[in-house]
Structure 1
């Protein structure tokens, strides 16, 4: 995105304010994110590839849900443009949150950050949902119980694993492990809103405080421990310091569901990398899956 395009995007919001800078920001693999600056203000512009344009409405819906329930450190949608005519792609303009991605900075007290993250996740998980399933502007193909939902998800991901030439022996071990532990899924009685992409690139911090949680493209309605397990798998990476602080902030002790959900996230990630042709991480993820089921 250049200055001219940024000016076209922001003109409805800043009719008399010239854009002075366009800075790439940390974004996901499915879209591009920019900070657009003027002399006295800034905004975040998220630009969607055509294939993923449908996620724009989802993000607006989820950010709206979070705002309605008083979840403060999330961006506010300023303008949503689903028509790709202005710059050739759909885009969303959001408020700029203070802070730097945790993945790009060093904080003096990482335990405090994870304690704050735990409190934030507890607040998000207080938002109930009408059924278990993937979330867009509503829950797609909802099912009434977590056991049915997770059985469906593991079945899909294991089928993909084989189709993407995963190790058949590992497939069978994962399948057996899930069958032996499927009773744990019933511990979740009702679905809640899950961010479902907690990693340090999506956590903004400033002066030791969590100032933002961004990127809700993967949000779903499910078991809160599925979300906590993803924070463990993607962010804490098994660090006892981070995990102890996360659970202390959340107000819970580690649950028996964590290893099963970690396995699900590993399987899902293996499938994702394999589907994109990025094979460099596959052996390491497969090794982690094997360790989890051993």
Structure 2
């Protein structure tokens, strides 16, 4: 993180001018996985130069528009657009800091309060009316056969499609994939009566802002989509079990999993409906299978595909990252 002073970065200045905002105020430059970010006293500026995530900010702006008038704590959008440096998005700055940053120094009571507040925020989010079939444009492109820039969140109806994509790999394990196809077919009925809700799709410590033990905002809705509510739980439990894989930037470290051991229980107490679906473990396993299949079928690195193949085999035997969680 670096202090860029009084909007001296020329890219930041051009973006502020394009948004019709004053080119004054102290901003702190922060790294990210996809975006460049400047955090100011009043607003946050993000710039996306990664063309693989087509229309990510347009999608986020549309989703944030759905939240207007709801009880979902979120950052109000101030402006978004396209410029010579790439697409940009400006939102108000929320009080507090990310859950990732606040967690290590918080005591157990404060941690519990933050997770209970998150449960209330998620309940409100899942009650927001959502357009049928809402998908991020980059994910819709990937499902249509274009390159995959990311491999989550899961899309239940596209799971068998990922099996077929994996079968087209020259080095595919045909016997394994035949077993996977049967496994998926046997479980599709679990989702037959689901009513999709608005799901954030990438909910972990870096996408939640907290202040004084409560959530002041859920941020970064670029992956939001219409899916069953417990898709949200899939991401949260994965974060708890494999937190080191969720650092806020590529050059930082994720939280220690041991510090998140009580999160599922606290969330369960605050939002019990999220855990009450019949055969919840099988549903969560299904979401996990989707993610591993997407990696196996589409990831460009052979070692990542090999690791996904191993985890798929473990899932077929009933084991995955959920085994060690108390939820």
Q: Which residue does the alignment assign to 2:107?
A: 108
The answer to whether the 8 Å contact 2:64/2:221 transfers is yes
The answer to whether the 8 Å contact 1:48/1:90 transfers is yes
CA distance in 1, matches of 2:176, 2:114: 36
**Match runs of 1:138-287 below 5 Å:** 150=156, 152-164=157-169, 165-188=171-194, 190-235=195-240, 237=242, 241-252=262-273, 253-255=275-277, 256-269=279-292, 271-272=294-295, 275-279=298-302, 281-287=304-310
1:69-119 Cα deviation digits (max 9, x unpaired): 2312x111111112x23xx31211111223333334413234433322222
The alpha carbon displacement at 1:195 in A equals: 0.9
CA distance in 2, matches of 1:186, 1:274: 25
Q: Secondary structure at the match of 1:196?
A: coil
The alpha carbon displacement at 1:135 in A equals: 5.0
**Structure 1: stretches of 5+ with no match in the other structure:** 142-148
Task: Give the TM-score of the pair, scaled to structure 2.
Answer: 0.71
The alpha carbon displacement at 1:276 in A equals: 4.4
Q: Secondary structure at the match of 2:46?
A: strand
1:224-261 Cα deviation digits (max 9, x unpaired): 12222222223455976222222221132443144333
The alpha carbon displacement at 1:127 in A equals: 1.7
The alpha carbon displacement at 1:269 in A equals: 4.9
CA distance in 2, matches of 1:249, 1:90: 37
1:19-51 Cα deviation digits (max 9, x unpaired): 5444114x34xx3131243xx544332324334
Give the CA RMSD over aligned residues: 3.2
The answer to whether the 8 Å contact 2:299/2:305 transfers is no
Task: Give the TM-score of the pair, scaled to structure 1.
Answer: 0.77
Q: Secondary structure at the match of 2:36?
A: strand
CA distance in 2, matches of 1:113, 1:283: 37
The answer to whether the 8 Å contact 1:200/1:235 transfers is no
The answer to whether the 8 Å contact 2:209/2:217 transfers is yes
